[in-house]
Amino acid sequence: MTSLSKIIKSSINTDLPGKIIGIKEIYLKNTLEYGDIDPVFEKEKEKYLSQFQHKAETMIQDAECHAQTIREQIEQEKAQWMQERQALIEEAKRDGFEKGLIEGRNQGMEEYRSRVEEANQMVEHTKNEFIKHIEESEKVILDLGIKAAEKILYDTLSEQPEKFLSLVKQTIKEVRENQEIKIMIHPSKYSLINSHKDELDGLLAGKVQFYIYGDDQLSEYQCVVETENGRIDASIDSQLRILQEKLHEILEGAHL
């Protein structure tokens, strides 16, 4: 089974045909300085993992006890069968019923095999249930991690508004080959972005016409860029949602 840590560390590449614009990861410098580990997330994660570990240990212990009971019953029945077998042999020798001896022995072997198969099925069922719980737990932990990352990023943007400007700059760099660019942001961020219009124009070398619009339908830290070749939703929640979907796809593929 592929571990979650290896899955999350794996790279996710999305290749799109033509000039359709891809959404790339956002890199916020020094993000972790403002919250290395969210205490609420850490507490919930530890609580969940503790409950899951206790439940898994209980399941395994119950399965082992049940399997041991079956093994002991099998051994007792095997010993009893051996005694009965010997008695049948002696009886067959006395009475000459060789055929009856063979049929009795075969019946005893079938019963023995049936008990062994029952024990094996119990162990297999327990193993499958354990794997199922692990897979479900990986998905829960992944979702908790995404929510924690989202909180950290939004806290950083709130404390350092210039980080939102960096997000807009990065998005503009991705579309600077177009002839016209429309940048749509929440009205509360309009003055911030408009005050750096010359700086943004410098990224385009003055060769591209771009316009900044306020849109109160957008979330506070959402940035949507439109060009003649497509539309980019460069908001953090949009990119985290895409990342979450890709990670879930990888998890499901790893458990096939």
pLDDT above 80: residue 182? yes
pLDDT above 70: residue 166? yes
pLDDT digits (tens, 9 = 90+) for 8-23: 444 444 443 444 444 4
Report the C-alpha gap between 79 and 189 in whole angstroms: 83
pLDDT digits (tens, 9 = 90+) for 125-149: 776 776 666 666 666 666 666 565 5
> Considering the chain, what is the average pLDDT of its residues?
68
pLDDT given at position 14: 42
| Single-letter amino acid, residue 142 | L
Report the C-alpha gap between 47 and 58 in whole angstroms: 17
pLDDT given at position 20: 40
pLDDT above 80: residue 254? no
Q: What are phi and psi of 27, to 5 degrees?
A: -110, 110
Looking at the chain, list the stretches that DSSP marks H as alpha helix, in order from N- to C-terminal side.
4-9, 39-95, 98-159, 162-174, 190-194, 197-203, 236-254
Which residues have CB under 8 Å from 255's CB, separation 6+?
Answer: 1, 2, 131, 135
Higher pLDDT, 151 or 203: 203
Task: Read off the pLDDT band of 213 (50, 70, 90).
Answer: very high
Helix/strand/coil for 104: helix
Mean pLDDT of 53-79: 68
The DSSP output letter for 20 is: P
Residue the block writes with tokens 């953090």: 236
The DSSP output letter for 91 is: H
pLDDT given at position 50: 65
Task: Read off the pLDDT band of 110 (50, 70, 90).
Answer: confident
**Quick check: 144 and 41 in contact, CB under 8 A?**
yes
pLDDT above 80: residue 115? no
pLDDT above 70: residue 157? no
- Exposure of 54 by Cβ count < 10 A (0-12 exposed, 13-18 middle, 19+ buried)? exposed
Q: Of 4-18, 105-119, 143-157, 174-188, which has the strongest mean pLDDT?
A: 174-188
- Which string of DSSP letters, residue by residue, matches 198-230? HHHHHHTTT-SEEEEEE-TTS-TT-EEEEETTE
